Amino acid sequence: MAKVYVFDHPLIQHKLTYIREKDTGTKDFRELVDEVATLMAFEITRDMPLEEIEIETPVSKTKSKVISGKKIGVIPILRAGIGMVDGILKLIPAAKVGHIGLYRDPETLMPVEYYVKLPSDVEERDFIVVDPMLATGGSAVEAINSLKKRGAKNIKFMCLIAAPEGVEAVKNAHPDVDIYIAALDERLNEKGYIIPGLGDAGDRLFGTK
């Protein structure tokens, strides 16, 4: 069964408070999301395998550890997911970045794929799917479906704020995908916004309304 990790590091929680605050402007919002994404990337990479290599320091030969050839793919769900990418790449600069775009069909209300561009070696990579908000879970479930359909085997999902409904949806659809969040909020409102949440993450990141 999927595990859910809530990153309660004081720096993450502090920055998240100002991300939520309605008077935080676009510039600060963007910078704070970027910083929290970096801090979350630090936590999410905790299980990366290490191997020992031989090196020479200025005073002696020694064996020392390096990350053992893990290939990572970061997949932002368009568009708000883009706001988390640079923060992750600060710690994993060699990661490849794919994009998945989904829109909601006005009749069925189901997410429909309109854009998918992934690294060519999907089967060999471990993926981190990112979206700041896990609301109903529809987009996350579909983005993960999309990756799996193309051969991805090892997937993590990372977001800033999740609603319990979204967590359940991802856990049920993808029990093999662990979920990493900075805060688990109360619920969704009738318009599908997370309460208390932060409003529309895409609009706040890109300064649109």
Spatial distance between the Cα atoms of 8 and 141, rounded to a whole number of angstroms: 24
Q: Is the peptide bond before 204 cis (omega within 30 degrees of 0)?
A: no
Tell me if 200 contacts ligand URA by CB under 6 A: yes
Taking each helix axis as running N to C, give the angle between helix 26-44 and helix 10-20, from 0 to 180 degrees, rounded to the nearest 10: 150
Tell me if 135 contacts ligand URA by CB under 6 A: yes
Q: Which is nearer to ligand URA, 38 or 139 (CB)?
A: 139
Active site includes 203? yes
Q: List all residues 6 or more positions away from 148 whose beta carbon is below 8 Å from its beta carbon.
A: 155, 174
With H, G, I as helix, E, B as strand and everything else as coil, classify residue 62: strand
Active site includes 17? no
Task: Tell which positions 64-93 bind ligand URA, by CB under 6 A.
Answer: 80
**Structure token digits, residue 8:** 């309660």
Active site includes 47? no
Q: Which is nearer to ligand URA, 131 or 178 (CB)?
A: 131
φ/ψ bin of 69: left (φ > 0), alpha (ψ from -120 to 50), beta (otherwise): left
Q: Which residues pair with 102 in a beta bridge?
A: 113
Please give the DSSP secondary-structure letter assigned to residue 192. Answer: S
199 belongs to an annotated ligand binding site: yes
Name which position in 74, 122, 133, 167 contacts ligand URA (CB under 6 A).
133
Smallest gap from Cβ 62 to ligand URA, in A, equals: 49
Task: Tell which positions 27-66 bind ligand URA, by CB under 6 A.
Answer: none
Q: Which residues are catalytic?
A: 104, 108, 200, 203
The binding site for ligand URA (CB under 6 A) comprises 80, 133, 135, 192-194, 197, 200-202
Q: Binding site for 5-phospho-alpha-D-ribose 1-diphosphate: residue ranges? A: 79, 104, 131-139, 200
Q: Binding site: residue ranges? A: 79, 104, 131-139, 194, 199-201
